[in-house]
């Protein structure tokens, strides 16, 4: 697991997730944007617990806060919760088939949305509920695909 | 497929370092502290946000790249289409330019109105904004015609001011217009006091459209260049305290026992299109149809500016 390849896969996946989050989408599609960063963070928390996933969550959260002009620490806190919850779910999810894992992770995304909604209210900057909760469904649907892609990426990097 | 997760190759039996829960709580506490101080409005989180934003500019640029690529496609548009677009834009530009010409005038007018409103609010008198319809073309008569008359309750002898000072008084009221005599007209006098000393006197127009005269001051009168003249309120026609002008020169006619002060009006005569009609409290008592009592030409008749 050690070496340059896996580290590159780790960093690449996080960077791509960040860029996918930032890319401008038409307004109709923007509400359907999956939670790319929580997904990738959850994947690494589930598959590579020895990586500094919590630290990555904090730093990426701060970056998102700076770029999206939310209160500094809001995304960081929510990402940390996702990474932590996924890490705690790891022993359970390792034993169940992929579709059960997909369903079991839905509450994690919902928790992320709930934390962000709460922090929005705290910062007196309420977002539309649909924009917060619709991505939960989209993320759940996208999880198996993203999971498979990341596995492929990690495998190729390891071969190299 | 029983599991989607690989088992880790290397998993220490006795993990060193803080556990997952402890690490999570430490980092979460840091994030929460940051969040709290940002929400409390302390300055350093915003400083940090600015630095982060600056450092992340390449990332923002990278994420905007698809949109830029889309814009690149625009460059290969048909020539005909570009020419048509150019023509349409030219027409639009001409139209907008024409409209903009008017905006400049409107903006200036707005500023003048605002200045007038501000002066009205500080004076706390009943006022009405009037527009200047025309000014007298006769060089010996400094008069203006305003668009408010009997219908709006204007009356002869009513004071007229602008944002900077006293402008004149109404001498003739028509149904929906009124003629006003400016303070620089030789037939006009306004009771003033020197703001610095309280010296009471009368400011008469000199007829040149630019200056006022304070004649027959005792030779030992304390008047200096730069003194501000304000309405004294005597005579009841003008309310007290409005700026009238500023002394610009003192004259000592040879062989006479009095001095004369020359003043420049504070009001912007012939420079604005909006003026304010002011209702003085005594006007309510005096009959509206009272004959106009603008100061006569002869300076000796000081009583003209005294109460009717």
For B221, how many CA atoms within 13 A lie in the half-sphere containing its CB? 25
Domain range A4-159, CATH architecture: Orthogonal Bundle (1.10)
* Chain B residues near residue A96 by CB distance under 8 angstroms: 3
Q: Which region holds residue A128: left if phi is over 0, alpha if psi is between -120 and 50, else beta?
A: beta
CA B165-B166-B168 angle, to 5 degrees, is: 150
Return the pLDDT at A82: 95
- Indicate yes or no: CB of A80 within 8 angstroms of CB of B38: no
Return the pLDDT at B224: 92
- Indicate yes or no: CB of A72 within 8 angstroms of CB of B34: yes
Q: Would you say B275 and B167 are in contact if contact means Cβ atoms under 8 Å apart?
A: yes
* Chain A residues near residue B9 by CB distance under 8 angstroms: 1
Please state whether beta strands B189-194 and B200-205 pair in parallel, antiparallel, or not at all (unpaired): antiparallel
* Chain B residues near residue A101 by CB distance under 8 angstroms: 4
Residue B293: band (very low, low, confident or very high) from pLDDT cuts 50, 70, 90: very low
Structure letter (DSSP) for residue B156? T
Q: What is the CATH number of domain B127-300?
A: 2.40.10.340
Q: What is the pLDDT averaged over residues A10-30?
A: 82
* B69 interface with A at CB cutoff 8 Å: no
pLDDT, tens only, B233-282:
888 888 888 889 999 999 988 888 889 999 999 998 877 788 888 887 65
Instruction: Determine which of A73, A103, A120 to mutate to test the interface with B (most B C-beta atoms within 10 Å).
Output: A73
Q: Would you say A65 and A71 are in contact if contact means Cβ atoms under 8 Å apart?
A: yes
Return the pLDDT at A160: 61
* Chain B residues near residue A62 by CB distance under 8 angstroms: 34, 52
* Residue among B280, B271, B284, B290 nearest B171 (CA): B290
Q: Which region holds residue B271: left if phi is over 0, alpha if psi is between -120 and 50, else beta?
A: alpha
Window A:25-84, CB contacts with B under 8 Å = 46-50, 54-55, 57-58, 61-63, 65-67, 69, 71-74, 76-77, 80-81, 83-84
- The domain ranges of chain A are 4-159
Return the pLDDT at A9: 87
* A151 interface with B at CB cutoff 8 Å: yes
Q: What share of chain A is helix, strand, coil (3-state, %, to 5)?
A: 80, 0, 20
* Residue among B120, B28, B117 nearest A85 (CA): B28
* Chain B residues near residue A84 by CB distance under 8 angstroms: 20-21, 24, 28
Residue A57: band (very low, low, confident or very high) from pLDDT cuts 50, 70, 90: very high
Identify the residue with better confidence: B6 or A80.
A80
In angstroms, what is the C-alpha Rg of chain B?
Answer: 36
pLDDT, tens only, B189-242:
999 999 888 899 999 998 888 899 999 899 888 899 999 999 988 888 888 888
Q: Model's pTM, two decimal places?
A: 0.49
- Indicate yes or no: CB of A98 within 8 angstroms of CB of B1: yes
Instruction: Determine which of A16, A39, A63, A77 to mutate to test the interface with B (most B C-beta atoms within 10 Å).
Output: A77
The two counts, helices (H) then strands (E), for chain A are 7, 0
Task: Select the residue of B7, B52, B63 nearest A22 (Cβ to Cβ).
Answer: B63
* B30 interface with A at CB cutoff 8 Å: yes
* Phi, psi dihedrals of residue B165, rounded to the nearest 5°: 170, -170
Lowest model confidence (mean pLDDT) among A105-119, A139-153, B229-243, B288-302: B288-302
In terms of residues, how long is chain B? 308
Return the pLDDT at A23: 79
Q: What is the pLDDT averaged over residues B88-104?
A: 79
* Residue among B127, B81, B88 nearest B276 (CA): B127
- Indicate yes or no: CB of B38 within 8 angstroms of CB of A72: yes
Q: Would you say B229 and B244 are in contact if contact means Cβ atoms under 8 Å apart?
A: yes
Q: Where are any strands of DSSP class E within chain B?
A: 127-135, 143-146, 159-161, 166-173, 178-182, 189-194, 200-205, 212-218, 228-231, 243-251, 258-265, 274-278
* Phi, psi dihedrals of residue B85, rounded to the nearest 5°: -65, -40
Indicate the average pLDDT of chain B.
Answer: 78
Most distant CA pair in chain A, distance:
49
What distance lies between CA A132 and its chain's CA centroid?
14
With a CB cutoff of 8 Å and minimum separation 6, the contacts of A133 are: A110, A113
């Amino acid at each position: 697991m050690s070496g340059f390849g896996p580290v590159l896969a780790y960093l690449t996946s996080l960077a791509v997730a960040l860029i996918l989050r930032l890319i401008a989408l038409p307004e109709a599609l923007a509400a359907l944007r999956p939670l790319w960063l929580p997904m990738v963070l959850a994947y690494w928390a589930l598959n590579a617990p020895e990586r500094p996933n919590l630290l990555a969550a904090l730093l990426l959260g701060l970056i998102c806060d700076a770029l999206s002009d939310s209160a500094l620490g809001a995304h960081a806190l929510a990402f940390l919760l996702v990474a932590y919850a996924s890490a705690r779910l790891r022993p359970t999810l390792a034993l169940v088939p992929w579709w059960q894992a997909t369903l079991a992770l839905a509450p994690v995304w919902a928790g992320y949305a709930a934390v962000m909604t709460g922090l929005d209210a705290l910062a007196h900057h309420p977002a539309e509920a649909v924009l917060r909760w619709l991505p939960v469904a989209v993320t759940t649907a996208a999880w198996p695909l993203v999971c498979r892609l990341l596995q492929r990426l990690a495998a190729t990097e390891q071969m190299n | 497929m029983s599991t989607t997760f690989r088992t880790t190759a290397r998993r220490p039996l006795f993990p060193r370092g803080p556990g997952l829960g402890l690490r999570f709580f430490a980092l979460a506490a840091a994030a929460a502290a940051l969040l709290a101080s940002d929400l409390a409005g302390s300055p350093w989180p915003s400083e940090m946000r600015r630095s982060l934003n600056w450092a992340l500019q390449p990332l923002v640029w990278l994420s905007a790249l698809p949109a830029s690529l889309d814009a690149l496609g625009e460059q290969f548009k048909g020539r005909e289409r570009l020419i048509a677009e150019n023509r349409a834009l030219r027409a639009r530009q001409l139209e907008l330019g024409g409209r903009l010409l008017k905006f400049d005038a409107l903006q200036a007018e707005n500023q003048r109105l605002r200045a007038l409103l501000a002066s009205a609010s500080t004076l706390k008198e009943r006022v009405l904004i009037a527009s200047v319809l025309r000014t007298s073309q006769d060089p010996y008569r400094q008069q203006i015609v305003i668009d408010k008359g009997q219908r709006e309750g204007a009356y002869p002898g009513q004071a007229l001011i602008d944002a900077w000072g006293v402008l004149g008084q109404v001498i003739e009221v028509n149904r929906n217009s009124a003629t006003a005599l400016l303070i620089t007209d030789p037939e006009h006098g306004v009771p003033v006091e020197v703001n610095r000393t309280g010296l009471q006197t009368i400011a008469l127009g000199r007829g040149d459209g630019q200056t006022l005269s304070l004649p027959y001051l005792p030779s030992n009168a304390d008047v200096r260049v730069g003194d501000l003249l304000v309405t004294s309120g005597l005579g009841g026609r003008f309310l007290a305290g409005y700026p009238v002008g500023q002394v610009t020169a003192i004259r000592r006619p040879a062989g006479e026992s009095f001095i004369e002060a020359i003043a420049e009006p504070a009001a912007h005569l012939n420079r604005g299109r909006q003026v304010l009609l002011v209702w003085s409290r005594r006007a309510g008592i005096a009959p509206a149809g009272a004959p106009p009592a603008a100061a006569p030409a002869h300076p000796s008749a000081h009583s003209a500016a005294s109460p009717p």
